[in-house]
Structure 1
Amino acid sequence: MSKDTFLKGAFILTVAGIVVKIIGSVNRILLSRLLGGEGVGLYQMAYPIYLLALSVSSAGIPVAISIIVAEKIARSDYRGANHVFRISLGVLAATGLFFTFLLYYGAGWLIEHNFVRDHRAYYAIAALAPAIFFVTVLSSYRGYFQGLQMMTPTAVSQIFEQLIRVVTMIAFAYILLPRGLEFAAAGASFGAGPGAAAGLLVLLYFYWRHKPGFKQQMENQPQIKQESSLSIIGRIVKLALPVSLANIMLPVVSNIDLLIVPARLEVAGYSVEQATEMFGYLTGMAVPLVNLATILTASLAASLVPAISEAYTLGNKQRIYQRTATAMRISNLITIPSFVGMTLLATPISLMLYGTPNAGVPIAILSVGIFLLGIHQVTTGVLQGLGYTAIPVINMAVSAVVKIVMSWVLTAVPSLGIMGAAWATVADFGVAALLNMFFVYRYVGFSLDIKDTFKAVLASGVMGVVVLLSYDAIMSQMLHNTLATIGSIAAGVTVFGIVLLLVGGVEARDIEQIPRIGGKIAAILTTLRLLRR
């Protein structure tokens, strides 16, 4: 069995993430047209409850499993790694079953006590219950494979899970629509169950496919004293609990935004309708674009956790530093040009994607957060790999307090309005990133490489000029925003890549990590003396 390097693993997860996002976007369009605003509203009343149940039952567990499994593999303790997997599988199967029954039988209680105001959402909540069991169990398999630094099983399972989920959501919603919106919304909710089951089947296939290799490694390993089951469970809980708290914190902060931002916009002098509209531009349009731009850095963070854990277990400080530096350099090569391009094309992108230029200002401000969020994600992966899973959560809590205070103060300023809320979100990313960087420097000795960062900034600056000139040139000829936006982005990406190669901002080993074609591309570029070894 061959494990992926963490860069190759990140690339695999990134491709899967993009495919999943595309399928999800198609799903939102089809579901909106099928159910309308009221039906989607019923579905959305159920989904946050499902996410909360998942956060409590399994979130953070894959990270904990990957850390401990990577640690065992680094010591060539394959029996120990398998023991960790089996213990986690048993625990998660039990908790998944518990929360499945809790959500199913608790749906009526939520309606009766007005936690969910519309009684028609009962069916949608109950229909989501089976998915909890399957998602919880498959999280154990994903954590195991990630600990082995094999990212392909996770990536393939994510794609199949999303694909089957969308197909069954649309099919059941369509079939049940004649019976009423509440049943159609329940049909859409039920799709999460078959999707998760499909993802689990994919992981079972990979597990059985590699089982002979696992067995041979266990048979050939030297005799190593095994950790007790109680000790393993204790370590999983200790590592997973902070990650779970972080996952719970994200929707909590979003709900605080919902309470603060529209109300403070009204204080600034906007009507209720205007405040709602601007809040939609920020949270429904600008924020998803920032998250889209950081798919690679999120994948880097996931791939870094077992890679750092392995190096830390072996006491190889140099490898920890090198992997941290490589991940940060790759992150900057993605986030800096994304920040520049999105800032310059904020209004055209808003018009192209959402049919309105009004989200342009929030998009332009939040684009600054792409660079900061990338740093935060990578450093979180490093700290989790070192076993300090609580530190990023504490840093997130501190940054959330900063965001709340700034949102309260800045959003109420008439000259700022929604821009104040956007800058508060940027500050949230920035504080979390800086605090994480402090601890990474403390434990790893790493700080941003000024020379490499300058190369990315230089290439992005040239790209920015080309983007503006291309957009103006195409618009003057065609007067078509979508064509001008896509054309200027394509020109910018091309120029960025060329300038980056010319200034030596990319190394051959970075290109070689691209599966299948990376080696050939690197060889050609090296022959042309455009790559450094």
Structure 2
Amino acid sequence: MSKDTFIKGAMILTVAGFVVKIIGSVNRILLSRLLGGEGTGLYQMAYPIYLLALSISSAGIPVAISIIVAEKLARRDYRGARHVFHISLSMLAATGALFTFLLYIGAGWLVEHQFIRDPRAYYAIAALAPAIFFVTILSSYRGYFQGMQMMTPTAVSQIVEQLIRVVTMITLAYLLIPRGLEYAAAGASFGAGPGAAAGLLVLIYYYWRQRPTFALQMANQPPVRQESSWSIISRIVKLALPVSLANIMLPVVANIDLLIVPARLEAAGYTVEQATELFGYLTGMAVPLINLATILTASLAASLVPAVSEAFTLGNRQQIYQRVATAMRIANLITIPSFVGMWLLATPISQMLYGTANAGPSIAIMSLGIFVLGLHQVTTGVLQGLGHTAIPVMNMILSAGVKVIMSWVLTAMPALGIAGAAWATNADFAVAALLNMYFVRRYVGFVLDWKATLKALLAAGLMGGAVLLSYHSVMSQTLHNSLATLAAILVGGVVYGVVLLLTGGVTERDLSGVPRIGSKLIKILRLIGLMKR
């Protein structure tokens, strides 16, 4: 294995993210058919508790490990990097075992004290406990490899983890359903454990494969004063705690939405049933599409953390600026056309994916969130790489306050309703992104490249015209929404790519960072005269 450029690393994580999402989508379809609404409800009662326990036990630690490991490697302190990994592994093994025990023992307590209203969910909660131990240890390995800027181990382990998890879930749910829904839901929950164990085995394989090279580097490293174990533990906790708080903020904000939005929709004049339906369109249909469209920017953020940390440790401000500029440009090249395309095709996409056009208005408004959420994710990665992990958390808290106020006011307006809640979510992303941008400019001196952004906007504008023309053309001839939507997306993608190439919005250097197919694309584009150096 060799060190990846941060662009290549982001691409590797993006491909893995899409594969994991596809496997997860298949899983949701099969599991819902096996368990039905009631069995799925039992599973869903257990899973948020598992995610909360996991967030407390390990969230933030991989980011902290990647920052410190990248710093050690920048100084050629290979022994120090290995020491950081061993300490973090010991810490996470201990916390993983503790939270596995607490969740298993606490499952009965949660049911007994009616925090979980349905006692049948006990089995699903208890079945998830072993997964915490494996996932917590696995996060230490992922942080270590990401700090070394090797994203392939993380990507492969994510795919294997998801695949084994889904196979185990479906198999056990199918085998146990004759015994009752509570046992089938528990079988589905238990799948997280074998999945995490399989992902861990993949990472252990990569670790042992990499050991001889790393041992040689340690033997030949220059004399470097070694940091004490206590100092490393202290730094891991200091860096990880804000990231953990940020991860906990996500379900907290989701629960705030649950408390505010349906109630304020009722205040706007909707019935309870109508409010629930509209809330489902926003949170269950529009928001997942936004998250899907920002997989690349999330991957860029993860890849940027060690890359920026390395350059910061070496005092190379120019390299930090270049990496930030490259990441922001790539993010804009993806998020701007995604926003335009989803805005124009919101209702057709809703009909194609969900079998209803009613989610279209929420999707159209939330499409703007793709652009600002992408900015937020990338700038968060930059600030974390600089060691300022607390700043994005404070910005998230401030932006969440804006979201609460806007949701309360706008959602209750009859003229807006659920659109008000969607605009409040966009404002949440935008405020967090703008605050992050301020601090990135303050610490890095970075300002957005407006020339490159305008090229992306021009290409996206022309793409939008092609999308509308092709959709209505195919729709008028076939009267088939899904076919027209897919054709419009395909035509739009081609037009956007061609315009970018003609205007120099994408260069040979950009494509060379794409794993495996980048060099082939360059050759093809040179042959047809579309590639500019």
TM range (shorter): over 0.9
**1:520 shift after superposition:** 2.5
**In the alignment, what sits opposite 1:298?**
298
Q: Do 1:101 and 1:129's aligned partners in 2 also have CA atoms closer than 8 Å?
A: yes
**In the alignment, what sits opposite 2:321?**
321
Matched to 1:500, the amino acid is L
Q: Describe how 1:30-41 pairs up with structure 2 within 5 A.
A: 30-41=30-41
Q: Point out the more displaced range, 489-498 or 218-227.
A: 218-227
Q: Do 1:124 and 1:189's aligned partners in 2 also have CA atoms closer than 8 Å?
A: yes
**In the alignment, what sits opposite 1:200?**
200
CA deviation digits over 1:368-402, x for unaligned, max 9?
A: 01000000000000000000000000000000000
Q: Describe how 1:230-249 pairs up with structure 2 within 5 A.
A: 230-249=230-249
Structure-1 separation of matches of 2:82 and 2:526: 42
Number of residue pairs matched by the alignment: 533
Q: Point out the more displaced range, 239-248 or 215-224.
A: 215-224
Matched to 1:330, the amino acid is I
Structure-1 separation of matches of 2:300 and 2:374: 9
Residue 219 of structure 1 pairs with residue 192 of structure 2: no
**1:523 shift after superposition:** 3.6
Matched to 1:98, the amino acid is L
**In the alignment, what sits opposite 1:461?**
461
Matched to 1:121, the amino acid is A
Q: Do 1:73 and 1:81's aligned partners in 2 also have CA atoms closer than 8 Å?
A: yes
**In the alignment, what sits opposite 1:164?**
164
1:532 is paired with a residue whose SS is coil
2:34 is paired with a residue whose SS is helix
2:305 is paired with a residue whose SS is helix
**In the alignment, what sits opposite 1:504?**
504
**In the alignment, what sits opposite 1:522?**
522
1:356 is paired with a residue whose SS is coil
CA deviation digits over 1:478-526, x for unaligned, max 9?
A: 0000000000000000000000000100121110111122123224434
**In the alignment, what sits opposite 2:339?**
339
**In the alignment, what sits opposite 2:446?**
446
Residue 13 of structure 1 pairs with residue 13 of structure 2: yes
**1:74 shift after superposition:** 0.3
Structure-1 separation of matches of 2:313 and 2:32: 49
CA deviation digits over 1:47-80, x for unaligned, max 9?
A: 0000000000000000000000000000000000
**In the alignment, what sits opposite 1:412?**
412
Residue 487 of structure 1 pairs with residue 487 of structure 2: yes
**In the alignment, what sits opposite 2:472?**
472
Structure-1 separation of matches of 2:379 and 2:528: 35
Matched to 2:206, the amino acid is F
**In the alignment, what sits opposite 1:175?**
175
1:104 is paired with a residue whose SS is helix
**What is the alpha-carbon root mean square deviation over aligned residues?**
0.7
Matched to 1:510, the amino acid is D
Q: Describe how 1:377-456 pairs up with structure 2 within 5 A.
A: 377-456=377-456
**In the alignment, what sits opposite 2:29?**
29
Matched to 2:332, the amino acid is N
**In the alignment, what sits opposite 1:3?**
3
Matched to 2:483, the amino acid is L
Q: Describe how 1:347-386 pairs up with structure 2 within 5 A.
A: 347-386=347-386
**1:530 shift after superposition:** 2.7
Q: Describe how 1:87-106 pairs up with structure 2 within 5 A.
A: 87-106=87-106
CA deviation digits over 1:244-287, x for unaligned, max 9?
A: 00000000110010000000000000000000000000000000
Structure-2 separation of matches of 1:358 and 1:525: 41
Q: Do 1:508 and 1:526's aligned partners in 2 also have CA atoms closer than 8 Å?
A: no
Q: Do 1:63 and 1:240's aligned partners in 2 also have CA atoms closer than 8 Å?
A: yes
Structure-1 separation of matches of 2:243 and 2:490: 37
**In the alignment, what sits opposite 1:48?**
48
**1:527 shift after superposition:** 5.5
Structure-1 separation of matches of 2:506 and 2:10: 17
**1:30 shift after superposition:** 0.3
Structure-2 separation of matches of 1:483 and 1:288: 22
Structure-1 separation of matches of 2:245 and 2:197: 26
CA deviation digits over 1:156-210, x for unaligned, max 9?
A: 0000000000000001111110111001000000000000000000000100111
**1:359 shift after superposition:** 0.1
How many percent of aligned residue pairs carry the same amino acid? Answer: 79
CA deviation digits over 1:274-311, x for unaligned, max 9?
A: 00000000000000000000000000000000000000
Structure-1 separation of matches of 2:425 and 2:517: 38
Matched to 1:3, the amino acid is K
Segments of 4+ moved more than 2 angstroms: 523-533
**In the alignment, what sits opposite 1:73?**
73
Structure-2 separation of matches of 1:273 and 1:286: 19
CA deviation digits over 1:449-483, x for unaligned, max 9?
A: 11000000000000000000000000010000000
Q: Do 1:504 and 1:530's aligned partners in 2 also have CA atoms closer than 8 Å?
A: no
Matched to 1:385, the amino acid is G
